[in-house]
Structure 1
Amino acid sequence: MAENTEKMKQILLLTSLLLSASATAYERIASLNLCLDQMLLSWVPAEKIASVTWLSADDHYRSAPLPENIHLNRGRAEELVPLAPDLILVGEFGAQRAARRLRDLGMKVVSIPDAYSLKQLQEQLAALENVLGPLPPLQKQQRQLQELLARPVPESEASALILSANNITYGRGMLEHQLLARAGFANLAAERGVEQLGRVSLEEVIALQPDLLVLYGGESDFALAHLAFRHPVLKSYIDGHRLYTLPAELGFCPALVAADVLKQLTEKRKKLVAQQ
């Protein structure tokens, strides 16, 4: 028994060492995709990142500090060749011409699937871990999402409606809808037959009377004070803490925030149901 236990410890130690090696296997990683930029910048040591796209220098998209002297590429193969990256990450659709050329030059290019649903989010994170190894921040994000999705969908529903800039709302076919549904909210846009994106006027928002009004963007995007002035009924949402703002990252790299959003929406529903 003692001998078997010692062998098991040795196996676990060897496995740990192998995993650690895979986590540090790449020393010069480049990205040709905005979302992959943000995941690298958030989860990978800065000294291991050789290049990200120029969009990551924009404050609107930057969710992690940009290392000094990092190369900002515009998705062209000739920009990356002199950098000699040992791994180039690309999304499913963008920069495909550059990816093909870099592969033809013998460089290691790996395509990571895009994510437009909760299932695809899990697949995207698994694909990234398969390439980069067991990075603790990445594993934490995976674990949080898996734990939240393993919970049963709450029976006590509250209603919600998403309102984005230009009166855009989100229906049944969108990740945002899935997050609402998993948190126990009935998405009023989906109930009205909206499949993906639709429009809803402020008058319709007031008539529908959602328990929670979900905004996509900050106060500067919606001018809440102005909305409350035009429609005093909306003031009750502001005063009654019946507003929730989806982070901008959900629109261009949901893997960074989906678990937090689902957790926060679930807590919001619990509070709303308790107040009813």
Structure 2
Amino acid sequence: DKDHGNKCGWFWYEEPEPEVDDESEKEREPLPPLPARAELMAMHPEDLKTLRDDYLNQAVWKPTPENVKDYYVVHDTIRRKSLAFTNVTSLVMLQNPELNVGREYPITNPGREAFTKVRREGYKSTLTQYRNKYGLIVFTKQGCDYCVIQKGVLNHFVKQHAWDIKEVDINRDPQIAATFNVDFTPITILVERNTKNWMPVAVGSESLRTVEENAYRAIRLLRGDTSPEQFFVMEHEQGGVFDPTAPGGYQ
């Protein structure tokens, strides 16, 4: 017979000792001292972010005055580098006005008033110029409360711009509705006279301003004065900072 002096293990109804996870038992090592300020300022932003997260974790883990201070030293370094970027940005915007959005989008109250006035005059001028070449069709149906609201909006549009507007009930004139792919109401469509060109300018009940702006944009798009990428670009903004197709003053 074999010697069974060491009677241990599963065969002898004894569960083995659980293995000790060295990583979980091991005490986390404290972070090394921070580099000098000059070295911190020279670090890459991604490295600074990693450093900030590491020292934040340490400060939350062991919130001693020293650990919390180390975190805020890194945080302050990031703040200073961000401030330097902001300062240089202001200088670059002054030296390169073609990159400065402020020249076409003012933030002061007088500037905003002028901005709004220029846009309103642009809409009005175009809508007046082409009112005999384009018209609006509003598709409605009986029992549609939103249609009543939209018709009221379009009545104001007629009073201000003297356009022709036709109402079409999709249940009474299903063929016309099918021609424009309309299966719900209200929807307002701009049509070019004596052509097959048309484009929606309001889906559902929209404000007077929205109808005006979209009618302006639709006219410019149908005439080929603008591209889909420039749909929100007004005529006076073409080639400027809000024109995604403009070179921006550099090649």
Q: Identify the TM-score tier after normalising by the shorter chain.
A: under 0.3
Bigger-Rg structure (1/2): 2
- Give the structure with the higher percent strand: 1
